[in-house]
């Protein structure tokens, strides 16, 4: 019971937050929408009164002296009035629908913006510990669930409640005894619907979590299309995905089965209400307490109320799914970065690029990765990091721009502890080139320009020339304005890498991090990329995760990492003479 209360408080907190942060700022639009909803509710109540008036007038015609003339006068008044009433009803319905949709869509856009801002502001560890597929699912599937809940809530919770109150008020004014049947029968449907809420919440949460996993699997499957085809794994992938699809069917079938119970319950209670009105109505008419027109009007009122009450019943289904999705959305928005600027953080201005790593240790959660690392890179030096896979080389590179913070020890640039520097200032003076090139489905100019968005086209072209990229760029149909496709799939591996180097050149940062930038290239592409890297490294402090022998030989100093510790250091020739781990790695490279 306490646990349920906790969930309710959490839901209230999320709803309150949604209201204050996203819906309340649109209060003018909401007020206008409510006015149209009230107008619509008034027209529905007017239909009920109109029904009684028409039928009672028809009964009275037999007593009139000139029934034909009286009916003609009646038609002249009622038909135009009914047309006007219908126009007001239709116009109000249209206006409130457009306005509530506008509020809901603006709210969703605000949530998505805050999600994107929070995700990009989160620590790198946020992306490392989760899957992109699950994050995408929150931006799409979960957002869609909240959209539906908002649209239904804004419409049903306001429009239908107003209509129900207006129609009930009219009913009680006409026939209080007959109307009491509605208040007795329909509330009985509330208890089983409320009981279903807990099950629906659990069903929705399971289905949404599975949708995140399925999105991740699809992303993996389609991204790995080359490997899958090369290894003939199409059948394996289809079977793997089919299992995920079947699990989705199972979870969603469980969800919709519970959802489907609501409509039949409301239908049964509606039938009971109509049967009761027929029975009680005949009794009251025979006793002279009400007229036949009143009974007909009450029946019309029930027909107006039934779909609104049913909509409120099924609204619970949508709201439960929406609240579950909203929790997952707020989990992203509330992601709190641990790597932030300290209160007294300072700008890093014009650094020479001297890097000192002092007794540094690091662990991913409980897994120790680096232990007591100490090294120095003087301005303009090229420092190579080599060692077996899993030795901590990439982790060490990631610590310099503070993608992670060390568990112990420190890193300084020009004597400044990087924890005391403003993040944007620190990262502005660092350029990264890795084997995994990130390119966007945009023009070549756009992708190079990410290195410095304010750089003129001429500087960008000069950077491309220095990266040995200008020639292949100009051979493309639109040159620098050519669209390169998703993840640059219209370019070769070497071309993508040279664009990455051009971007780093345009950034003109004094510190360069090279994470196996040539490891995935063929010999011809490697030669061009290596020439570009040599140009890029000139005058910069470079930390290189070495893969190719040529890079290792040219380094000013080489540190050999094994199991998270420095096991050897020195120049290429000095390390070969030691005949230790480096010599074995060198023999392996040959």
pLDDT of the residue at 374 = 94
122/235 Cα distance (integer angstroms): 38
Assess contact for 181 and 276: CB atoms under 8 A: yes
In 3D, which of 158, 154, 152, 164 has the Cα closest to residue 305?
164
* Cβ count near 352 (within 10 Å): 12
pLDDT of the residue at 563 = 86
- Interior angle at CA 115, CA 110 and CA 121, nearest 5: 125
Intra-chain end-to-end CA distance of the chain, in Å: 69
> 411-426 burial by CB neighbour count: b if 16+ within 10 A, else e?
bbbbeeebbebebeeb
Select the CATH number that applies to the domain covering 355-589 from these four: 3.80.10.10, 3.40.50.10470, 3.40.50.300, 3.30.70.370.
3.40.50.300
Residue 366: alpha-carbon gap to chain centroid? 29
pLDDT of the residue at 409 = 93
Look at phi and psi of residue 315 and say left if phi exceeds 0, alpha if psi is from -120 to 50, else beta.
Answer: alpha
208/218 Cα distance (integer angstroms): 15
List of long-range contacts for 196-202, beta carbons under 8 Å, 24+ apart = 196/258, 196/261, 196/262, 196/316, 196/317, 197/316, 197/320, 198/4, 199/258, 200/255, 200/258, 200/259, 200/316, 200/317, 200/320, 200/321, 201/7, 201/320, 201/323, 201/324
Under 8 Å CB-to-CB from 198, ≥6 apart: which residues? Answer: 4
Assess contact for 69 and 76: CB atoms under 8 A: no
Assess contact for 552 and 386: CB atoms under 8 A: yes
The three-class DSSP label of residue 456 is coil
Helix residue ranges, H only, 261-368: 262-286, 292-333
Annotation: CATH topology of 10-333: ABC transporter transmembrane region fold (1.20.1560)
Tens-level pLDDT at each residue, the chain (590 residues): 333 334 444 778 888 999 999 999 999 999 999 999 999 999 888 888 887 877 776 666 655 555 555 555 666 677 787 888 889 988 998 999 889 888 988 898 899 888 888 888 888 888 777 667 778 888 888 888 898 888 888 877 788 889 888 988 888 888 887 777 766 665 655 555 555 555 665 666 677 677 767 776 766 666 655 555 555 566 767 777 777 777 777 776 776 676 566 656 655 665 666 666 666 666 666 666 777 777 778 778 877 887 787 777 677 778 888 888 898 899 889 988 888 888 888 998 888 989 999 999 998 877 888 999 999 999 999 999 988 888 888 889 999 999 889 999 999 999 999 999 998 899 889 888 888 888 888 899 988 988 888 889 999 998 888 888 898 899 998 999 998 887 788 888 888 888 888 888 888 889 988 887 776 566 666 677 777 777 778 888 989 887 665 667 878 899 999 888 999 999 988 988 888 888 887 776 55
* Cβ count near 347 (within 10 Å): 11
DSSP label at residue 563: T
DSSP label at residue 335: P
* Residue 301, φ and ψ in degrees, nearest 5: -60, -40
Domain spans of the chain, in order of start: 10-333, 355-589
- Per DSSP, the residues of 354-374 read -EEEEEEEEEETTEEEEEEEE
Domains 10-333 and 355-589 belong to one CATH topology: no
């Amino acid at each position: 019971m306490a646990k349920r209360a906790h969930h309710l408080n959490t839901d209230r907190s999320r709803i309150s937050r949604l209201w204050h942060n996203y819906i309340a700022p649109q209060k003018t639009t909401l007020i206008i929408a409510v006015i149209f909803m009230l107008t619509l509710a008034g027209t529905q109540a007017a239909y009920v009164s109109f029904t009684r008036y028409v039928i009672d007038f028809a009964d009275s015609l037999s007593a009139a002296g000139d029934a034909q003339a009286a009916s003609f006068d009646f038609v002249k008044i009622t038909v135009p009035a009914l047309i006007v009433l219908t126009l007001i009803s239709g116009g109000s319905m249209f206006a409130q629908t457009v306005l509530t949709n506008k509020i809901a869509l603006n709210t969703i856009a605000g949530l998505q913006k805050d999600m994107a801002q929070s995700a990009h502001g989160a620590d790198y560890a946020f992306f490392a510990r989760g899957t992109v597929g699950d994050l995408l699912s929150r931006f799409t599937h979960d957002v869609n669930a909240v959209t539906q809940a908002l649209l239904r809530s804004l419409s049903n919770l306001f429009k239908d409640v107003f209509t129900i109150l207006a129609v009930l008020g009219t009913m009680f004014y006409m026939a209080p005894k007959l109307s009491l049947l509605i208040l007795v029968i329909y509330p009985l449907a509330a208890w089983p619907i409320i009981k279903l809420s807990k099950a629906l919440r659990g069903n929705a949460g399971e289905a949404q979590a599975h949708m995140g996993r399925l999105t991740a699997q699809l992303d993996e499957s389609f991204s790995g299309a080359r490997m899958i085809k090369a290894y003939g794994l199409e059948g394996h992938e289809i079977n793997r995905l089919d299992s995920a699809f079947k699990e989705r069917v199972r979870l969603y079938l469980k969800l919709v089965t519970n959802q489907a119970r609501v409509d039949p319950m409301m239908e049964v209670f509606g039938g009971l209400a109509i049967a009761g009105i027929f029975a009680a109505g005949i009794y009251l008419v025979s006793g002279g307490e009400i007229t036949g027109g009143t009974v007909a009007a009450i029946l019309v009122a029930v027909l107006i109320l039934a779909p609104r009450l049913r909509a409120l019943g099924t609204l619970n289904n949508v709201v439960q799914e929406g609240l579950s999705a909203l929790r997952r959305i707020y989990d992203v928005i509330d992601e709190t970065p641990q790597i932030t600027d300290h209160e007294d953080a300072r700008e890093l201005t014009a650094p020479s690029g001297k890097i000192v790593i002092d007794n540094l240790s690091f662990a991913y959660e409980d897994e120790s990765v680096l232990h007591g690392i100490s090294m120095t890179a003087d301005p303009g030096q090229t420092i190579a990091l080599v060692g077996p896979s899993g030795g901590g080389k990439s982790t060490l590179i990631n610590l310099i721009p503070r993608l992670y913070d060390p568990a112990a020890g420190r890193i300084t640039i020009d004597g400044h502890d990087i924890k005391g520097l403003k993040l944007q200032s620190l990262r502005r003076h660092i350029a990264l080139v890795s084997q995994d090139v990130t390119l966007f489905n945009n023009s070549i100019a756009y992708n190079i320009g990410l290195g410095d968005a304010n750089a003129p086209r001429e500087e960008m072209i000069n950077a491309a020339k220095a990266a040995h990229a200008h020639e292949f760029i100009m051979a493309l149909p639109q040159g620098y304005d050519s669209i390169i496709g998703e993840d640059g799939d219209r370019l070769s591996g070497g071309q993508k890498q040279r664009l990455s180097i051009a971007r780093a050149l345009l950034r003109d940062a004094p510190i360069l991090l090279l994470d196996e930038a040539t490891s995935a290239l063929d010999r011809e592409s490697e030669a061009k990329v290596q020439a570009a890297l040599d140009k890029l490294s000139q005058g910069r402090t470079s930390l290189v995760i070495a893969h190719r022998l040529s890079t290792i030989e040219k380094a000013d100093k080489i540190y050999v990492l094994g199991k998270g510790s420095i096991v050897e250091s020195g120049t290429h020739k000095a390390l070969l003479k030691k005949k230790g781990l480096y010599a074995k790695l060198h023999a392996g490279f040959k």
